[in-house]
A and B are shown apart, each in its own frame.
Chain A
């Protein structure tokens, strides 16, 4: 499945990084601890988090993460959005909390 299909099926907002919507997704990872994601999230996964700063994109890029989903209507800070455009890694958004979104994404990808 590609990022664009997830956006449509889960009714997500695309905040930035539209150029990366055709990236292939291999799974998901839900965490707000950056070292946890750095150490344990594999390439090609979608990262669900409430962190909205630029370091999220540094990690997403270093780990070849397919896209980031911000929960609870959170929006990326300006430099995070800019970095997402540069890296062509989409930052998406939902009004749902992490638990519900993770459940829905899991159902889609299992």
Chain B
């Protein structure tokens, strides 16, 4: 199944809407709650990154019984040094965004931790594409 969503850059009032919709869909599909938890964490962080840094973007989510693949494509400043951006505590967020409690440099590491695979490609002054891949039902039963 395929689902598409739009993200408005700078619009914090709607940040998290796509994550919320996808959470509902995953629940309806009876996806394991541990998988839902990590998908929601990673997707929310990715969504907020687009709101905080880009002009706008699109999310496409592909959901089947064994895996979930979510691709976020944004138009924005891009990431000049992905390795640096991945470091815990590194952030280029504005003071306003930090004041809201975002921009602590935890988003990308949170995403990495909660995905089975994460791919980032970026072109400076054009935009960034993030792919989040989750293999379902891989968590040990007593975890």
User: Which residues from chain A sit less than 8 Å from chain B, CB to CB?
Assistant: 32-36, 38-39, 43, 49, 51, 53-55, 58-59, 61-63, 79
Q: How far is the CB of A63 from chain B (nearest CB, A)?
A: 8
**Contact yes or no, B102 A34, CB < 8 A:** yes
Tally of A-B residue pairs with Cβ under 8 A? 60
Q: Which of B12, B40, B113 contacts A55 (CB 8 A)?
A: B12
Across the interface, which residues of A come within 8 angstroms of B37, CB to CB? 43
Contacts of A59 in B (CB 8 A): 16, 44
The answer to whether B15 touches A35, judged by C-beta atoms less than 8 angstroms apart, is no
Contact status A35-B107, CB under 8 Å: yes
Main secondary structure of the interface of A (DSSP, over half): helix
Chain B interface size range: 20 to 34
Q: Looking at the complex, which one of A33, A55, A79 makes contact with B104 (CB distance below 8 Å)?
A: A33
Give the chain A neighbours of B106 by CB distance below 8 A: 33, 35-36, 39
The distance in angstroms between the C-alpha atoms of A53 and B19, with both chains bound, is 18
Give CA–CA (A35, B102) in the complex, Å.
7
Is A38 a contact of B100 with CB atoms below 8 Å? no
Sample of 7 more A-B contacts, CB < 8 Å, known A39-B41, A39-B113, A61-B20: A33-B106, A35-B102, A38-B44, A43-B37, A49-B101, A53-B100, A54-B12
User: 30 A-B Cβ contacts within 8 A?
Assistant: A32-B101, A33-B101, A33-B104, A34-B48, A34-B100, A34-B102, A34-B104, A35-B102, A35-B110, A36-B106, A39-B106, A39-B110, A39-B114, A53-B100, A55-B12, A55-B15, A55-B101, A58-B15, A58-B16, A58-B44, A59-B16, A59-B44, A61-B20, A62-B16, A62-B19, A62-B20, A62-B40, A62-B44, A63-B40, A79-B13
